[in-house]
Structure 1
Amino acid sequence: MSNKLLELSGVHTHIGAYHILHGVDLSVPRGQLTMLLGRNGAGKTTTLRTIMGLWKASQGTVRFDGHDITAANTPDIAARQVAYVPENMGIFSDLSVKENMLLAARQAKRLNQIDSTRLQWIFSLFPAVEKFWNHPAGKLSGGQKQMLAVSRAMVEPRQLLIVDEPSKGLAPSMINNMIEAFAQLKATGTTILLVEQNINFAKRLGDHVAVMDNGQVVHAGSMQALAQDEALQQQLLGLAI
């Protein structure tokens, strides 16, 4: 079994007339948390959407768990136990929190078929999900919606969890809850690919890091090494972390 659960090789993506990804090479080690960093507009979200088949690679290969998924449709990729939390969260506003969670549980048709132990674990990480269980999801605050979005991705065991900026717009106390959730997920052996602008978030969680610029990965290595090298941080990100 390869140590690489997910691997992108020479991936190009066009959106209409725009050439966004210019040969992305990215490896996501199995059972680790990989941070995907870069300035705004570097191509991070496009990379995630290409992995999920929402946008199709025009060149190159995306392999997951040894299988070529470059041309696969999004539902087929999700069926391989891949969960994706987009930057806009993708909440169904007119449905209750409970109904949002049930929709995300692919193996459950009724609420009592969801693993109750796992559900209680999610409630312990995100008490607001339990508190507003029967409320319309659209009535939640932005931070509560973000917690619901991550909770949906966690409701069943996943091989790979892909999350786009989970701390965006969260209060510091909520960010700590989110960090704890991902730390516990990582401890279960779940592989995680995370786009994040909060550098403290990245430093506390990341095992590996890939930095993007202008539609390419320009640096890959350990998160700890990047966190300790201020000159490299300035070179890659234009800031010191």
Structure 2
Amino acid sequence: MSDLLTLAGIHTHIGRYHILHGVDFVVPEGQTTMLLGRNGAGKTTTLRTIMGLWPASSGHISLAGQRIEQRATPDIARLGIGYVPESMAVFSDLTVKENLVLAARDGPLDDSRLEWIFGFFPALRRFWLSRAGSLSGGQKQMLSIARAIVEPRKLLLIDEPTKGLAPAIVMALIECFAEIKRRGATILLVEQNFHVAQQIGDAVLVMDNGKIVHRGDMAELANDSAAQERLLGLSLETHQ
């Protein structure tokens, strides 16, 4: 198994604040890697730094052997990275259809892939010609994820996709991520819901104060309540 994404010694400053302090990790190709940690640990900053939205102050980021830390965000996306920010970032004044057309950079929408997406998110078919701004929070999250997967991507960076969503939508997301992985995508996913994380994660990284403080198998962490409490201040039993 090869490493698709590599971060080596990444430091990120935002204004006068030093957020990431020498972040090192790899994301194996074809796996779902969970990035966990308490609020403010640096998880979102890590994803934004990978995408070039906040430039790394120092260190190296490589995608499939290509250095990307000095590239512009659109160029990074064109290398095959899909990004789902916590803010969802849909175009509110455009319809669901128009949002997906814009996201399909390589050409017209693929009907078979759309049908596959509708299988997970049937609301998007119902609201196909509705303005995205009129959707509920859960429906906007569906659209944000659909935008990222409307074409095959090498790597998906997803920031807290289940936050504030109803259990039925969360289950649809879990099924969607599992199917995306079966189709060959690699996922780096920030998630606060540990019960969700242990269902879909292969590997796990835990951040604290801008550093990686734990790395290993997700199943091992899910079975170690003492490590959960030490690293995250929680236990799986309280997040069922």
TM-score scaled by length of structure 1: 0.97
Question: What are the ranges of 5 or more consecutive residues in structure 1 without an aligned counterpart?
Answer: none
Question: What CA distance in whole angstroms lies between the structure 1 residues aligned with 2:142 and 2:81?
Answer: 18
Name the SS for the 1:84 alignment partner. Answer: strand
How far the C-alpha of 1:223 sits from its partner, in A, is 0.2
| Rounded Cα–Cα distance in structure 2 between residues aligned with 1:182 and 1:200 | 15
Aligned to 2:191: 196
Q: Which residue of 1 aligns with 2:12?
A: 13
Using the TM superposition, give the Cα deviation of residue 155 of structure 1 relative to its aligned residue in structure 2, in angstroms.
0.3
Query: Does structure 1 residue 79 correspond to structure 2 residue 78?
Result: yes
Cα distance in 2 between the residues matched to 1:209 and 1:200: 13
Offset of residue 189 of structure 1? 1.1
**Is residue 214 of structure 2 the alignment partner of residue 219 of structure 1?**
yes
CA distance in 1, matches of 2:122, 2:48: 30
2:161 maps to 1:166: yes
**C-alpha distance in 1, partners of 2:170/2:186?**
20
Looking at structure 1, the residues matched to 225 and 97 of structure 2 have their Cα atoms a distance apart, in angstroms, of: 45
The match for 1:57 is 56
Deviation readout 1:30-77 (Å, 9 max, x if unpaired): 000000000000000000000000011001111111011111110010
Matched residue SS, 1:57: coil
Q: Take 1:200 and 1:179, find their aligned partners in 2: how far apart are those partners?
A: 11
Q: Tell me whether 1:145 sits opposite 2:140 in the alignment.
A: yes
1:27 match: secondary structure? strand
Say how many residue pairs are matched. 236
Query: Which AA in structure 1 matches 2:45?
Result: T
TM-score scaled by length of structure 2: 0.97
Unaligned 5+ segments in structure 2 are none
1:118 paired residue among 113, 121, 130: 113
Cα root mean square deviation, aligned: 0.7
| Secondary structure of the structure 1 residue equivalent to 2:57 | strand
Q: Percent identity?
A: 61
- Once residues 68 and 136 of structure 1 are traced to their aligned partners in structure 2, the CA distance between those partners, rounded to angstroms, is 38
Aligned residue for 2:88, secondary structure, equals coil
Cα deviation per residue 1:77-109 (whole Å; 9 max; x = unaligned)? 00001000000011100000000000000012x
Q: CA deviation at 1:7?
A: 0.6
Per the TM alignment, residue 184 of structure 1 is displaced from its structure 2 partner at its CA by: 0.4
What amino acid sits opposite 1:229 in the alignment?
Answer: D
Look up the equivalent residue of 2:231 and give its one-letter code: L
Q: Which residue of 2 aligns with 1:68?
A: 67
Hey, what does 1:44 align to over in structure 2?
43
Q: Post-superposition shift, 1:8? A: 0.4
Q: Structure 2 CA distance, aligned partners of 1:134 and 1:96?
A: 5
- How much has 1:200 moved relative to structure 2? 1.1
What SS is found at the alignment partner of 1:119? helix
1:231 aligned residue (221, 226, 229): 226
Q: 1:72 is aligned with what amino acid?
A: R
Cα deviation, residue 169, structure 1: 1.2
Structure 1: distance between partners of 2:232 and 2:192: 10
Residue type matched to 2:143 in 1? Answer: L
Task: Tell me the SS of whatever aligns to 2:206.
Answer: strand
